[in-house]
Amino acid sequence: MLAASAGVALARGMGQIDLRVPGSAPSARDGYGTDPDIIRTHAPGDFWPLTLTRAERRAVSALCDVIIPADDRSPSASALHVPDFIDEWISAPYAGHGADRTLVNAGLAWLDAESRRRYGSAFARATDAQRLELCEAMAPEAPPKSELELPSKFFRRVRNLTMVGFFTTPAGMKDLGYVGNVPLARFEGPPADLIARLGLADEVAW
């Protein structure tokens, strides 16, 4: 349910409003409830316990940093605490999150086993080149072979969660060029040179 909605809201505005998760399931008993304090800033672990083991956490951090390594514009995923978010996500008591928990646990087990089989060490202790090689195996351009279905599904899910976790942080938003969420005296609309470049000057009627 939750995974399926990831691709739904492709854009802002009504897209966001429409990001609904239909279903009449009752509230999870240990969730944040239907009237949480939405003014307060929350951190992973505030509402429900995190469940990744220390070893799993190391593997997730290493994997996140292959997916989003540091570059000249912003830090790596783990430096922005994305593994905390992934742990919060898979540990959440809501419907849909349980399936992600199962997938991530199984995927991490596969990853470590495969890393040990190939290189004799856990994924978190593998070299950068070895980690890249394993990611390449999980993320082939062509549809995966049947024995790689689980790793491929696992990789896509962690990749998506890493993106969500990363690009919602202040550094991630800045990286993308999101410059909103500030009060303005006037809404200026798009810059004139962009309008001209796309040949849209005639459309500016108000």
Q: Which of residues 119-138 bind another protein (CB under 8 A)?
A: 132, 135
Task: Say which residue the tokens 């956490």 belong to.
Answer: 57
Nearer to another protein, 56 or 67 (CB): 67
Shortest Å distance, C-beta 20 to another protein = 5
45 Ramachandran zone, left/alpha/beta (phi>0; psi -120 to 50)? left
Task: Say which residue the tokens 């999101």 belong to.
Answer: 178
Determine which residue in the list 67, 104, 134, 148 makes contact with another protein, applying CB under 8 A.
67
Nearer to another protein, 150 or 164 (CB): 164
Determine which residue in the list 51, 75, 79, 94 makes contact with another protein, applying CB under 8 A.
94
Determine which residue in the list 50, 109, 122, 164 makes contact with another protein, applying CB under 8 A.
164
By CB under 8 A, residue 146 contacts another protein? no
Shortest Å distance, C-beta 203 to another protein = 4
Determine which residue in the list 19, 55, 113, 196 makes contact with another protein, applying CB under 8 A.
19
Report the distance separating Cα 169 and Cα 173, nearest Å. Answer: 6
Nearer to another protein, 73 or 117 (CB): 73
Q: What are 201's two structure tokens?
A: 């000057």
Amino acid symbol at 167:
F
By CB under 8 A, residue 49 contacts another protein? no
The one segment of 4-12, 52-60, 99-107, 113-121 that binds another protein by CB under 8 A: 4-12
Report the distance separating Cα 199 and Cα 190, nearest Å. Answer: 13
By CB under 8 A, residue 53 contacts another protein? no
Cα–chain center distance at 6: 10
Helix segments in the chain, DSSP class H: 2-5, 14-17, 54-67, 82-91, 97-119, 128-138, 149-167, 170-176, 192-197
